[in-house]
Amino acid sequence: MSITRRRQRTTFTSVQADTLEKEYLADQYMPRSRRMLIARSLGLNESQVKTWFQNRRAKDKRNDKNATLLGFIVVPLISR
């Protein structure tokens, strides 16, 4: 009988979370080369950064859907 263990949930530090959020606001779909660089600079592995971005996009999609159901109009923020 083989027992497989789930990977432990990653708890991001405030610096890691802030950096990932800033990167997300700049580009929701980070290229692999940038993802590798950010992961290395934050002390994370590439898959952790990739999963964070996937989860963040899902959060945006969920929030947009909920806002639409409540009758709000969702206007994306574009900073330049």
Tens digits of residue pLDDT in 28-38: 999 999 999 99
What pLDDT shows up at residue 70? 64
CATH architecture assignment, domain 14-69? Orthogonal Bundle (1.10)
> In 10 A of CB 56, how many CB atoms?
16
What are the sequence ranges of the domains in the chain? 14-69
Q: What is the pTM of this model?
A: 0.75
pLDDT digits (tens, 9 = 90+) for 5-19: 888 889 999 999 999
Q: Is the pLDDT of residue 73 over 90?
A: no
Compute the mean pLDDT over every residue in the chain, rounded to the nearest whole number: 88
pLDDT digits (tens, 9 = 90+) for 49-68: 999 999 999 999 988 877 77
